[in-house]
Amino acid sequence: MSNDDRIALDDLILFFRGPGEDDNETIVNRWIPHSFYTKEERRVVVKPGWKDAVLSEPSTGNQTQPYYVANLARLVPPDEPSPSTTPTGTVPQVNPGPGDLVVFPPEDPNSCFRVTRADYVDNCEALPPTDIPDLEFMAREEGVVLACLPKVTPEGCTCILLNLLSLRSGALGGAGTTRTTLTHRVRAAYGRRDIRHNK
């Protein structure tokens, strides 16, 4: 059972870097519900190669600013997956932009949906660290990139964790960051965030 019982097993909790109030990059999260990322208006034509991996970073033309493809249909499915849907009209072909997220839902390996970076940043909810302490620890201290979390204990969050901060392209400081410097940058970013939250 999650500390926030609104969160479902096929929802995404996304961690990524974003601008902080003090002009330093910081760590932010967004709760992206299954009903949000699978809206029909976000359905797009599947491109060659998108289905080949659980998580990939295709180029937008700029190697330092990829978009992200999460093929959640390759994960172990939920006990009761959401029903798959069929297109209601012509499905567009798109060229995702930097930071966009293309998602194959757990229930359908042949359909995908694009959520633009602006869409999830502006229209999805940021969760307080106290609501998802297990995910915060996994992203902050363990560097987990992708996890399917069917927690059966009373504490914890049942969802899908996607942490872009542990990818070279999404790491604080950019592609030149090493594991040690990333750890220091992540802890410093969390420290700045905690200070702001406690004011």
pLDDT digits (tens, 9 = 90+) for 52-110: 999 999 988 887 789 999 999 998 777 777 888 889 889 999 999 999 999 999 999 99
Mean pLDDT of the chain: 82
Q: How many residues does the chain have?
A: 199
Tokens of 170: 């999404």
Q: Cα dihedral angle (108, 105, 46, 14), rounded to 10 degrees? A: -170
Gyration radius of the chain over CA positions: 17
pLDDT digits (tens, 9 = 90+) for 12-60: 999 998 766 666 677 889 999 999 999 999 999 999 999 999 999 998 8
Confidence at 154, pLDDT banded by 50, 70, 90: very low
**What pTM was computed for the model?**
0.82
